[in-house]
Amino acid sequence: MEQYHMEALRVAKQVARIIALALDLDANFFDKPELLGDPIATLRLLHYEGQVSNPAGGVYGAGAHSDYGLITLLATDDVVGLQICKDRNAQPQVWEYVEPLKGGFIVNLGDMLERWSNCIFRSTLHRVVLDGRERYSIAFFVEPSHECLVECLPTCKSEENPPKFPPVTCAAYLLQRYKDTHADLSSYSKQQT
């Protein structure tokens, strides 16, 4: 797992170089120590049991969400299940399956990249819909260091397109996202006593 983590981080840094070039930045922009020089990189092994999802009934392997960080690399088995929504504001939302990519990664763009790029890049809204077969995947979440200041990149703003988000440290941003999405269970534990 340590070897996999090291290799996945190497790939993530290569993807970040492509993103930097796409944003008219120096290819090594994200290599700075406060960015991906000393990143937060978390590996999560995922197993979806052989259940059947029912989107009409709100039953999913994983409900619709976007990832908080910069990018997520996803390695999957050969069982289809990941769906993406290219336009989160469309009504109704249109979901498309992403075919498993043997020997490769699926790259999900995160909310932090959306902030940094001033919405030039949009985070990937995704979910997992199961068909009754077991499914395995490995998610590798990549964020900059806690101290990194996430603010609109210089090539992503102009007079016509001012920054849409205030600057925030990576730590403060992630902490707020966790608070926003995870239930406060303190009232539950008080009821149990």
Tens of pLDDT, residue by residue over 133-171, are: 999 999 999 999 999 999 999 999 999 999 999 999 999
Q: Output phi, psi for 137, to 5 deg.
A: -155, 160
CB 118 within 8 A of CB 152: yes
pLDDT of residue 89: 87
Specify the pTM. Answer: 0.88
Fold of 1-182: Jelly Rolls (2.60.120)
pLDDT of residue 13: 96
Q: Which residues pair with 62 in a beta bridge?
A: 128
Single out the residue of 62, 65, 15, 12 nearest to residue 41, CA to CA: 12
| Confidence bin at 57 (pLDDT 50/70/90) | confident
Single out the residue of 102, 22, 115 nearest to residue 66, CA to CA: 115
C-alpha distances in angstroms, 144 versus 17, 30, 148, 169, 174? 14, 9, 6, 10, 11
pLDDT over threshold 90, residue 23: yes
Residues 6 or more apart whose Cβ sits within 8 Å of residue 186: none
pLDDT of residue 99: 92
Q: What is the pLDDT of residues 63-88, one digit of tens each?
A: 889 999 999 999 999 999 999 999 88
pLDDT of residue 186: 60
Q: Hey, where are the domains in the chain?
A: 1-182
